[in-house]
């Protein structure tokens, strides 16, 4: 058997797109496709200067790649949305340098689906162990304290856990169609008070003279993406140093200039021309799911955020036969508008024995508490829904 070679890649460009596709197989999650990751690097939204140094691990047999792990060397914790201040604080107490750290995720996107990519016919168990060993050696050699795989694919998490990764459970919000065919049926799931509230919120937008139109496919062009970028930039600026503006204008242009634009859906809130909006949101889609990402507005209109970011995307998703909507991180207000609480998993490795032991003991408690909180949250929702199956083992 030919010798396997591990290579560290400083750019996704060092790994051919066709090779990525051969390893990813039928992967349909847009945030874990080669084009998306390349657009982040090409636009310099992700770079060493921004604290995201691409540091991807490839396993090669002769000149053929058989496994790949998208990884980044981080100099901060921004843009991850898994808030690890408790880990950073513990490292400080132990006089350890928390940064840099290794991160595996789709940068800037709290989207479940991270995993290693494997060639068909290869042993996933053997390759996972080999790659974890390579990561451990890299971390030890470079005095890196931790490696963290965020928003992992639920099926892949068992491979990571079998290789001694520690599991941390957090919370996300998701909407499921659950047999609903249109917005009217969606409304019928709510209790009477919340149903009236949603109708009142939608009416406030309509009374302001606002129409919301989806922009898709061939109508996604550089002009409308420039408009969306400006909304994104202005919205981030409103929050000052907490605005979390990560993406460059050229990233938005990359999405418009490639075949990737077929995955983009913009919701334009306007009084006339959809290309002259007062607000806009950006969503990403595939055949079965839609993800809400960014929005912005140049007018303060009652309930406009809910309309552009939740109600119109849900209505559009139902029309398209899409069955799941991930609205993005944060916001308890989502849970009153049809979204349910669910768990997401991150997997972690620490290279200091004392810190590793302390955190693993802590996780045993907080993971159970998180599962109980998710159950309690869903018990209080103002609508009927099919309870999610929690398949996570503690």
Q: Which residues fall within 8 angstroms of residue 286, CB to CB, at 6 or more apart?
A: 28, 29, 30, 263
Fold match, 4-172+342-379 / 179-322: yes
The DSSP bridge pattern shows strands 117-118 and 166-176 to be unpaired
* Burial of 112 per CB tally in 10 Å (0-12, 13-18, 19+): buried
DSSP structure class, residue 298: S
- The continuous run of DSSP H or E covering 313 comes out as helix 312-320
Q: Measure Cα distances from 220 to 33, 217, 274, 370 in Å.
A: 19, 6, 12, 40
Res 390 pLDDT > 90: no
pLDDT (0 to 100) of residue 179: 92
Q: What is the pLDDT of residues 187-211, one digit of tens each?
A: 999 999 999 999 999 999 999 999 9
Q: Does domain 4-172+342-379 have CATH number 3.40.630.30?
A: yes
Yes or no: say if 161 and 126 are a contact pair by the CB < 8 Å rule: no
pLDDT band of residue 243 (cuts 50, 70, 90) is low
* Burial of 95 per CB tally in 10 Å (0-12, 13-18, 19+): exposed
Res 91 pLDDT > 50: yes
Neighbours of 394 (CB within 10 A): 11
Average confidence (pLDDT) over 215-233: 96
DSSP structure class, residue 7: E
- The continuous run of DSSP H or E covering 4 comes out as strand 4-9
Average confidence (pLDDT) over 244-257: 92
Predicted TM-score of the model (pTM): 0.94
pLDDT band of residue 393 (cuts 50, 70, 90) is very low
Average confidence (pLDDT) over 44-72: 96
Q: Which residues fall within 8 angstroms of residue 389, CB to CB, at 6 or more apart?
A: none
For the chain, the straight-line distance linking the first and the last C-alpha, in angstroms and rounded, comes to 39
pLDDT (0 to 100) of residue 241: 64
Burial 270-284 (b: 16+ CB within 10 A, else e): beeebbebbbbbbbb
Cα–Cα dist 210/232, whole Å? 20
Q: Which residue has tokens 């689906």?
A: 113
Q: Where are the domains of the chain?
A: 4-172+342-379, 179-322
Radius of gyration of the chain (CA): 22
H helical segments located in 142-219: 157-162, 183-188, 192-207
Tokens for 128? 């996972």
> Is-cis flag, bond preceding 100, omega within 30?
yes
* 3-state secondary structure at position 287: coil
Cα–Cα dist 79/159, whole Å? 25
Yes or no: say if 171 and 280 are a contact pair by the CB < 8 Å rule: no
Average confidence (pLDDT) over 58-67: 94
Res 116 pLDDT > 60: yes
Lowest mean pLDDT among 125-139, 212-226, 252-266: 252-266
Cα–Cα dist 211/270, whole Å? 5
Q: Measure Cα distances from 30 to 97, 174, 217, 243, 253 in Å.
A: 34, 17, 15, 25, 17
Res 149 pLDDT > 50: yes
Yes or no: say if 369 and 137 are a contact pair by the CB < 8 Å rule: no
Domain covering 179-322: architecture: 3-Layer(aba) Sandwich (3.40)
Tokens for 233? 């930039």
């Amino acid at each position: 058997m030919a010798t396997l070679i591990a290579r560290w890649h400083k750019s996704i460009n060092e790994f051919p797109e066709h090779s990525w596709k051969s390893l990813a197989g039928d992967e349909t999650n847009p945030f874990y496709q080669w084009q998306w990751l390349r657009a982040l690097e090409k636009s310099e939204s992700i770079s060493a200067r921004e604290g995201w140094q691409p540091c991807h691990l490839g396993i090669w047999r002769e000149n053929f790649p058989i496994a790949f792990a998208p990884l980044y060397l981080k100099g901060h914790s921004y843009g991850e949305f898994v808030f690890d201040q408790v880990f950073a604080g513990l490292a400080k107490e132990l006089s350890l340098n928390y940064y840099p750290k290794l991160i595996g995720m789709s940068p800037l996107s709290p989207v479940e689906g991270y995993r290693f990519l494997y060639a068909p016919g290869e042993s996933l168990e053997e390759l996972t162990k080999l790659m974890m060993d390579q990561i451990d050696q890299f971390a030890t050699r470079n005095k890196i304290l931790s490696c963290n795989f965020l928003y992992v694919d639920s099926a892949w998490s068992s491979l990571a856990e079998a290789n001694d990764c520690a599991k941390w459970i957090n919370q996300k919000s998701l909407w499921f169609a659950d047999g609903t065919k249109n917005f009217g049926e969606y409304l019928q799931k709510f209790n009477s008070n919340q149903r009236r509230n949603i109708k009142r919120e939608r009416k406030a937008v309509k009374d302001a003279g606002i129409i919301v139109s989806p922009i898709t496919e061939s109508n996604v062009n550089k002009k409308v993406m420039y408009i969306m970028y400006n909304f994104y930039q202005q919205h981030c600026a409103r929050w000052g140093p907490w605005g979390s503006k990560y993406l460059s204008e050229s990233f938005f242009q990359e999405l418009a200039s490639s075949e990737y634009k077929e995955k983009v859906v913009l919701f334009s809130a306007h009084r006339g021309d959809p290309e002259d909006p007062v607000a806009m949101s950006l969503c990403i889609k595939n055949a079965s799911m839609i993800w809400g990402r960014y929005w912005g507005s140049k007018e303060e209109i009652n309930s406009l955020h809910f309309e552009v970011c939740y109600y119109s995307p849900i209505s559009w998703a139902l029309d398209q036969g899409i069955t799941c909507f991930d609205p993005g991180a944060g916001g308890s207000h989502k849970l009153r508008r049809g979204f349910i609480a669910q768990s997401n998993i991150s997997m972690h490795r620490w290279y200091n024995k004392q810190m590793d032991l302390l955190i693993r003991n802590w996780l045993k408690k907080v993971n159970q508490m998180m599962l109980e909180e998710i159950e309690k949250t869903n018990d209080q929702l103002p609508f009927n829904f099919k309870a999610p199956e929690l398949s996570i083992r503690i």
